[in-house]
A and B are shown apart, each in its own frame.
Chain A
Amino acid sequence: MKSNYDILVIGGGPAGALAARTAAEAGNSVCLIEKRPAIGTPVRCAEGIGKELLKEFIKPDPRWISADIESARIIAPNGTAICLDQARAGNEVGYVLDRKVFDRELVWQAAEAGADVIVKTRATEPIMENGAVRGAKVSSAGTPAEIRAEVVIAADGTEAQFARRAGLDTTVPLREMMSCAQYVMTDIDINAGCTDFYLGNEIAPEGYLWVFPKGDRSANVGIGITGRKSHDGSRAKDYLDRFVAKNFPNGKTIEMIVGGVPVCRPLPCTVTDGLLVAGDAARVVDPITGGGIGNAMYTGRLAAQVASRCIEAGNCSKEALMAYDTEWRASKMGATIERNYKVKEYFVTLDDAKLNALADSIASISFSEFSVLALIKELIKRNPKLLLELKALRDTLS
């Protein structure tokens, strides 16, 4: 194992892979370490992503696309369905990916660009010198080693322990951690081109339950509830089991997936001396949808671009790396996260009667755009009083 690189990337998910690919393409020596023995498994994801967002980073390939999504339904507690259809909307909907293959493809591209990839290698703590991160102490299949680097990019996912050990507080408050469970189910009656989102405090308190098709008769059937709604007997898995027993009693579960999705605001600062934090570790998940793949790829790539410039300029201080933090906050992604965070904070306060009333008010509409923003705008048009309750949103919606 080499012990010196320009850039060390911690984590082999979409953020880490894009960081490593981008950094290697810019001519840096790059090492990507993954603590698991394999890239892509175990999956911790519902696997949905918007088509336009995906295409910014990689050309869609049927090898890792499980389903092409043309419509979506949001189903209120009383059964009212709001339908969004690609044929009527101006923009494309999305894909359900096969993350096991997708993540391997992304890391393969990083390797092809010249990055070293080492699996079953866990960063145990940062190497700190004069308050700056200068690499990581690692355990590589049980053997301790040190990997030094000019810059470390922490893309270690929800757990986010590397940044924490470098002095950034990455702890997710219980009320903002979505506790999730998902079954990959087969032999079920579904519309293979339509994603369903079920809302309601009986179905998924402070979260939602999803059915994301994976093919003609199979789907990711999953749920996220907030940590504060999670108790013995009413955990994510309990809610999921009740839904499955009622809706897919004859379906077969071929995989059980659990995980946590942080829906807090992003870290107050995503850099420190010698370190950038990207993807779920930076808490750049969309707080409404819980979607994180696209934001992970965006921040991973941007982190590597800024790191490359700073290495070239010979200054990897926090001040120099701040260009990364400033740029993503000012980006479309940064603005969307901030807006959707406020929307989420409002929606978690709604009881089922209110959710039903809101859904009824927009159930008959043909949406001209497929987005959270389009939904919110239509809701406000039909329910002007919402604007009073959603005071914080007024500026962001204009």
Chain B
Amino acid sequence: MCTMLRINRDKCGYCGTCVAVCPEDALELIDAYLSLERECIACGICARACPLGALEVVHEE
């Protein structure tokens, strides 16, 4: 099973709140594109902070 961060690009407001709370510096906001640039530890902090609910930690088989 693998755990990963899913970005809902229709919901995302591209504001960068998630970037500032990420303890791993894994997220990067590149203009109007949120990118997972480095290894994500799937802690879910970014998903909590998001004002719109655009981020989700998902578990896939």
Contacts and interface: CB of A to CB of B under 8 A. Distances in A.
A384 to B, nearest CB: 38
Given A230-B48, A237-B52, A161 B15 contact: no
Contacts of A174: 21, 45, 48-49
Contact of A181 (B19, B22, B45, B51): B51
Given A232-B53, A235-B53, A256 B21 contact: no
Interface size grouping (class) on chain B: 20 to 34
A260 B25 contact: no
Q: Which of B19, B21, B45, B51 has the most CB of A within 10 A?
A: B51
B15 A227 contact: no
A160 B48 contact: no
A122 interface: yes
Interface stretch (A19-27, A163-171, A295-303, A375-383): A163-171
Contacts of A235: 50-53
Contacts of B50: 179, 230, 235
Contact of B30 (A35, A42, A179): A35
Contacts of A28: none
B20 interface: yes
B13 A256 contact: yes
Contact of A172 (B21, B28, B30, B52): B21
A236 B54 CA distance: 12
B49 A181 contact: no
A264 to B, nearest CB: 10
Contact of B52 (A37, A42, A173, A258): A258
Interface string A174-193: 10010111000000000000
Contacts of B29: 159
Q: Classify the interface of chain B: helix, strand, loop or mixed.
A: loop
Interface in A192-236: 227-228, 230-232, 235-236
B8 interface: no
Given A158-B20, A159-B20, A161-B28, A228 B48 contact: yes
B21 A227 contact: yes
B31 interface: yes
B3 interface: no
Residue of B28, B31, B49 with highest tally of chain A CB at under 10 A: B49
Contacts of B22: 171
A230 B46 CA distance: 11
A262 B14 CA distance: 17
A170 B29 CA distance: 16
A258 B51 contact: yes
Contacts of B53: 232, 235, 237
B51 A237 contact: yes
B48 A158 contact: no
Contacts of A228: 48
A44 interface: yes
A88 interface: no
A157 interface: yes
Interface in A248-272: 256-260, 262
Interface of B: 13-17, 19-23, 25, 28-31, 45, 48-53
17 contacts: A35-B30, A44-B15, A161-B19, A164-B25, A165-B25, A174-B49, A177-B17, A181-B52, A227-B21, A227-B48, A235-B52, A257-B13, A258-B15, A260-B15, A260-B17, A260-B21, A260-B49
Interface of A: 35-37, 42, 44, 120, 122, 157-161, 164-165, 170-174, 177, 179-181, 227-228, 230-232, 235-237, 256-260, 262
| 9 shortest interchain CB distances as A-B pairs | A260-B17, A258-B13, A236-B51, A227-B49, A258-B15, A159-B19, A259-B15, A159-B16, A258-B51
